Amino acid sequence: MKLVYSDDHREHAGAKEMRYDQMIPMSESPERMDIIMEALAKAGFKDVVSPQAHGLEVAHQIHDPAFVSFLQRCYPLWEKEFGLGGFATAYTFGMRSMGQSPNASVHSMLSCYTFDVCVPFVKGTWTAINSAKDVALTGAELIQNGEQAVFALCRPPGHHASQDLAGGYCYMNNAAIAAQSHLNAGSKRVAILDIDYHHGNGTQTIFYQRSDVFFASLHCRPEDEYPFLLGYATEVGEGDGKGYNLNLPMPRGTDYSVWEQALQTALQRIEAYNPDVLVVSLGVDTFADDPVGGFMLQSPDFTDIGSKIRTLNCPTQFVMEGGYSMSELGTNVANIIRGYSTKG
Ligand SMILES: [Zn+2]
């Protein structure tokens, strides 16, 4: 399987996040990619492709262009106001109810376009966001040119980002951009399977009223876990999208025997949808010892997940999302890719 990867993600580093009563270094760090790439190489996956530079056309089909412009301009505006160093983050949130739109102040933009304190902007953040988009689009094009499976090693991740909101380490939605690319290239139906521990609220929101993308998410239920407001089983899509959104929420502490049944349900629904392409939002923060997650999956389970996804027999683009256990992150990601690639 070809891997699409760029070192540009390293530009997005050095900020801190708030965890209850303290500021800690971001769990979503450049070291994550080093660990994953090393484990993939060790497992025999060494065919690394550099991304091609793409414009913003496909990103603008998924995201509000004003939002994308904010992502690009946020740090320079912040720097102009506060000088070099530190990182930009919102001071207030979500005053859209009276129809306010952001003014020229970077504070108003951060308030309008972010929904939590886990999307800091440093000097190189836009470079990394833009590169992750290129990684996703290059991966999509490899599939469109005949590859059976590709792994787009996007960082920062994307599944919490919606049309015009960044949050949860996510700025642009790489999986959604990949799905849109497949549709642009002639696919009629694209399925997105989100196996990250957290609900893919951004991806759900983007495609909620569309039937050309079926979204299935296995995640910790909103009563127990971030993002707390979305991810209920009752969210099935609306309008043209009704019946094309599947949420499989599970309580904190869920182990693989239960999770695996939810995966089978998702795979059956995806098979019935009969997609031309499958995009997998690949998070491994379901691992038992993940410091951010709360499920009980073990490393060998990820091999099984990969082989079960393979049974769909559909061109598959993996897109990297979460996973924060620095000791087993690489093994777990490599196990999924190995499980998928090994013919059972
Ligand atoms: Zn996650």
Q: What is the token pair recorded at 130? A: 């833009």
- Residue 272 counted as domain residue: yes
- Identified catalytic residue from 160, 182, 198, 219: 160
Query: Which residues touch 329 (CB under 8 Å, ≥6 apart)?
Result: 32, 35, 36, 39, 284, 287, 323
Q: Check pLDDT > 60 for residue 87.
A: yes
Pairing outcome for strands 190-194 and 277-282: parallel
Q: Residue 160's pLDDT band (boundaries 50, 70, 90)? A: very high
- Is 111 part of a structural domain of the chain? no
211 or 14, which is more confident? 211
Residue 327: pLDDT band (50, 70, 90) is: very high
Q: For the chain, what is the total number of helices (H) and then of strands (E)? A: 10, 10
Examine residue 124 and state whether it is found in any structural domain, yes or no: no
Q: Determine, yes or no, domain membership for 255.
A: yes
Report how far apart, in Å, the C-alpha atoms of 200 and of each of 97, 145, 159, 241, 247 are. Answer: 24, 28, 5, 16, 9
Distance 145 CA to ligand 1 centre (A): 30
Quote the CA–CA distance of 121 and 61 in Å, as a whole number: 23
| pLDDT at residue 17 in the model | 85
Compute the average pLDDT of residues 49-56: 98
Which residues span the domain enclosing 162?
2-54+131-341
Residue 288, domain CATH: 3.40.800.20
Average pLDDT over residues 271-286: 98
Give the tens place of pLDDT for each residue, 169-193: 999 999 999 999 999 999 999 999 9
Q: Give the number of domains in the chain.
A: 1
14 falls in which pLDDT band (50, 70, 90)?
Answer: confident
Taking each helix axis from N to C end, the angle separating 174-184 and 125-144, rounded to the nearest 10 degrees, works out to 40
Angstrom CA distances, 30 to 25, 27, 48, 83, 326, stand at 12, 9, 18, 24, 11
**Distance, CA 226 to ligand 1 centroid (Å)?**
9
> Is the residue at 113 inside a domain?
no
pLDDT greater than 70 at residue 25: yes
292 CA → ligand 1 middle, Å: 8
Q: How far apart are the CA of 322 and the centre of ligand 1, in A?
A: 4
Q: What is the mean pLDDT of residues 231-245?
A: 98
pLDDT tens-place string over residues 130-143: 999 999 999 999 99
Q: Which residues contact 323 (CB under 8 A, 6 or more apart)?
A: 32, 36, 283, 284, 285, 287, 290, 329, 332, 333
Residue 83: band (very low, low, confident or very high) from pLDDT cuts 50, 70, 90: confident
Q: How far is the CA of 343 from the centre of ligand 1 (A)?
A: 28
Ligand 1 center–CA 197 separation, angstroms? 5
Please give the distance, rounded to the nearest whole angstrom, from the Cα atom of residue 283 to the centre of ligand 1. Answer: 6
State whether residue 190 is helix, strand or coil.
Answer: strand
Q: Based on the residue annotation, tell me whether 160 is a catalytic residue of this protein.
A: yes
Rounded to an integer, the average pLDDT of 46-63 is 98
Q: Which segment of 192-206, 302-316, 330-344 scores lowest on mean pLDDT?
A: 330-344
Query: Does 140 reside within a domain?
Result: yes
What is the arithmetic mean of pLDDT over 283-296?
A: 97
Q: Is residue 104 part of a domain?
A: no
Is residue 290 exposed (0-12), middle (13-18) or buried (19+ Cβ within 10 Å)? buried
DSSP-based three-state secondary structure for 47: coil
Range with lowest mean pLDDT among 18-22, 47-51, 95-99: 95-99
Flag whether 22 is in a domain. Answer: yes
Strand partners, 297: 287
Q: What is the mean predicted confidence (pLDDT) over 244-250?
A: 98
- pLDDT bin (cut points 50, 70, 90) of residue 97 is low
Query: How sure is the predictor about 92, in pLDDT bands with cuts at 50, 70 and 90?
Result: confident
Task: Return the pLDDT at 94.
Answer: 73
* Confidence at residue 181, expressed as pLDDT on a 0 to 100 scale: 98
The tokens 């399925």 sit on which residue?
191
Cα-to-centroid distance, 169 and ligand 1 (Å): 9
